[in-house]
Amino acid sequence: MPFFKPLPSILTLLGVLSAACLFVPAAQAQNRGDDSLLEMHQAFRKNDRTRLTALLPQVQGHTLEPLAAYWELRVRLDTASEADIERFLTKYAGSYYEDRLRNDWLQQLGKRRDWPMVAAQHRSYRMKDDKEVSCYALAAEAILSKADVAAEAKRLWYAQKDADDGCTYLADHLHSGRKINGLDLWRKARIAMDANKPKAAKDAVDIEAPRLSEQVSLIFNDPAKYLDRHILAITKNRKELAVLALVRLAASDPDKAAKELDKRWGLMLTPEERHWTWAVIGKQAAQKLQDNASAYFAKVQKDSDLNDDLLIWKVRAALRQGQWKQVLTATEALSTDNRTDPAWVYWRARALAATATGDVQKQEAQHLLRSIASVKGFYEQLALEELGQTITVPERPSPLTPLEKGQAFANPGLQRALYAIQLGLRPEGNREWNYSTNLHTPGGMNDRDLLAAADLACQRQVWDRCINTSDRTKVAIDLEQRYPMPLREIVLRRSQGIGLDPAFVYGLIRQESRFIMDARSTVGASGLMQVMPATAKWTAKKIGLTNFTPEQITDKEVNVAIGTGYLKLVLDDFAGSMPMAAAAYNAGPGRPRNWRNGPVLEAAIWAENIPFQETRDYVKKVLSNTTNYAAIITGKPQSLKARLGNVGPRTSSAPEANADLP
């Protein structure tokens, strides 16, 4: 029987609650199978087929039986019969693991070039979030029905950073049928080279010019040498190889690449090739915060020759120089998806207001700001303030009914996810939770169902799922649900005791760990405030925490004490600048000390120009979180702009940097 059944419209409240209550004794009965399931998890990680098959009968009837059955079949999927696969898909129909296995099977079918089966299975595939599988499905459509899939194929292929079989095969097939041309292939190679992905670049070149594809490795290893040796050997394809070399050279030395393009290669390239290359040079200069980045972008005479990534860096470079006309033209050239992104809507509105010559432009700027203004995020909050409003806690949605809560409780996907997280299988639990809320139903759950699912996670103190789920509501915003405050007594006491804004602490924790008490990053940061071992040891000494040992860092009280102590030291080092302190907390203090050099900027512009994507997003989210937490904690209107302020070089009156700050 399917694991998911739609609740009948006439289902009574009593019926839902009775169904929900069935999970309690069922969950209690699972405990004896937990050890076997965890052993299966270890066997799956070791690819131990024999052990998985032996253990599977011991977890029959367990809440996480579908996960165990998936592990057992997944490791032998290459040899499993079609009947075995179909039995699994039927038995666990409607569950995440049905779709997860179908995804894996579609990958195998695509590699086998079994296009009728790819087409048949893809029709039942709900997640549709695997780009390689999507490329296989498009290949099946193009081969079986001769459909024109070129536009979608290029979109998917360009979005794939790493080389994969599905999108590369699709591109090759469409190129053979003259559905995509050489320029399409060379653009993919340029994007891959710029992203430091030589294999993906080589695969693209191999489709268009197989005899030249081996030269991609030479270009990647020493672009300057390649340019010197091939200045006289110019053909159409070799010009494109020169573009790849200039793209690669720009990554390490944009000024040297600019000289090469200006003096030796510019006249040999087509206008499109020149525009793209100048834009890559501008992007690399912008990422190094060079003042000449905008000058390089100014050499691009046709923005439509660029992709969105290059256009976005053109916007950033123009913002840094206060060039509002360039901001306006570059945002106009973005694709529809990015033109509706709140970041670029906001900057386009600001550019319109800054360059307005009449009421029409001013009214358009106001319209754009109103289209995004809310408390939801960084640019939405800035839009509110541009419209003369403040950030306040919106009226809470109407309370969840017992029926709505009961339906969330009775959702088997959510229950399995919570059980997996409880057992320590957090990645598996997170994936099933996200599937249940976002993907099982086309378009995901509606706002009321999301609020109910988030409430279920909050009640179980699974704060990351609570936050992520509540964040997805479109209209019904429950700010207190989105911004929970676990350990309130500890956080308020520790932060207020050292003169630190508790809203800033909560804003940072929400971004760092989502309140997962035992969170541990891939680089070794631990606990609520994700403190590195060396930083913890240094901070413990600074704040007078005696007898500190590394094992204590996961203790809630100790972690908050050290995290807040370090954050206060960082904040003081940057003269109270929250944006710079947040950047330092994420990337270390040395980098923002360098990033502050140059013109004095609005902190929003400074943050948008942070070279590291992770830190750029981190700073914006922490400051947005902080503003909402302040509204909740104080009950008073708040200003994100006031927290941002300006960022520029350290003034002579500012205190000296704490040189040993880690």
231: pLDDT strictly greater than 80: no
16: pLDDT strictly greater than 80: no
pLDDT in tens, 520-552: 777 778 888 999 999 999 999 999 988 899 888
Residue 348 lies in a domain: no
Residue 274 lies in a domain: yes
Residues 202 and 102 grouped into a single domain: no
What backbone phi and psi angles, to 5 degrees, belong to 646?
A: -115, 160
pLDDT given for residue 21 in this prediction: 46
Residues 29 and 166 grouped into a single domain: no
pLDDT given for residue 267 in this prediction: 87
Residues 607 and 643 grouped into a single domain: yes
What backbone phi and psi angles, to 5 degrees, belong to 552?
A: -75, -10
Residues 154 and 100 grouped into a single domain: no
Of 65, 88, 122, which marks where a domain is finished? 122
Residues 515 and 562 grouped into a single domain: yes
Residues 557 and 498 grouped into a single domain: yes
Any idea which residues carry the catalytic annotation? Answer: 512
Distance, in Å, from the CA atom of 332 to the CA atom of 271, rounded to the nearest integer, reads: 21
Of 278, 309, 330, which marks where a domain is finished? 330
Residues 541 and 622 grouped into a single domain: yes
Token digits for 312? Answer: 């976005």
Residue 657 binned pLDDT confidence (cut-offs 50, 70, 90): low
Residues 176 and 305 grouped into a single domain: yes
Q: Which CATH number is 517's domain given?
A: 1.10.530.10
pLDDT in tens, 265-286: 888 999 999 999 999 999 999 9
Residues 205 and 89 grouped into a single domain: no
Residue 126 binned pLDDT confidence (cut-offs 50, 70, 90): very high
Mean pLDDT of all residues belonging to the chain = 93
Average pLDDT in the 328-344 region? 97
Average pLDDT in the 424-433 region? 97
Residue 434 lies in a domain: no
Of 330, 362, 386, which marks where a domain is finished? 330
pLDDT given for residue 9 in this prediction: 42
216: pLDDT strictly greater than 90: yes
Residue 420 lies in a domain: no
Q: How many CA atoms lie within 13 A of 528 on its CB side?
A: 26
pLDDT given for residue 441 in this prediction: 87
pLDDT given for residue 24 in this prediction: 44
Residues 196 and 272 grouped into a single domain: yes
Token digits for 600? Answer: 């004095």
Residue 662 binned pLDDT confidence (cut-offs 50, 70, 90): confident
pLDDT in tens, 495-524: 999 999 999 999 999 999 999 988 777 777
Residues 305 and 183 grouped into a single domain: yes
481: pLDDT strictly greater than 90: yes
Residue 64 lies in a domain: yes
Q: Which helix (H) or strand (E) holds 655?
A: none
Residue 602, beta-bridge partner list: 646
The residues, ordered by sequence, that sit 6+ positions from 312 with a Cβ below 8 Å of its Cβ are: 330, 334, 338, 344
Distance, in Å, from the CA atom of 647 to the CA atom of 379, rounded to the nearest integer, reads: 18
Residue 55 lies in a domain: yes
653: pLDDT strictly greater than 90: no
Residue 306 binned pLDDT confidence (cut-offs 50, 70, 90): very high
Residue 20 binned pLDDT confidence (cut-offs 50, 70, 90): very low
Decide if 193 contacts 220 (C-beta within 8 A): yes
pLDDT given for residue 8 in this prediction: 40
Distance, in Å, from the CA atom of 102 to the CA atom of 74, rounded to the nearest integer, reads: 10
Average pLDDT in the 228-244 region? 79
Task: Return the percentage of the chain with pLDDT > 70, whole number.
Answer: 94
Residue 294 lies in a domain: yes
pLDDT given for residue 568 in this prediction: 97
Q: How many CB atoms lie within 10 A of CB 336?
A: 6
Average pLDDT in the 579-592 region? 96
Lowest mean pLDDT among 231-235, 416-420, 430-434: 231-235
Q: Which helix (H) or strand (E) holds 461?
A: none
Residues 177 and 303 grouped into a single domain: yes
Counting the structural domains of the chain, the total is: 3
Residue 525 lies in a domain: yes
Domain containing residue 56: 13-122
Decide if 30 contacts 63 (C-beta within 8 A): yes
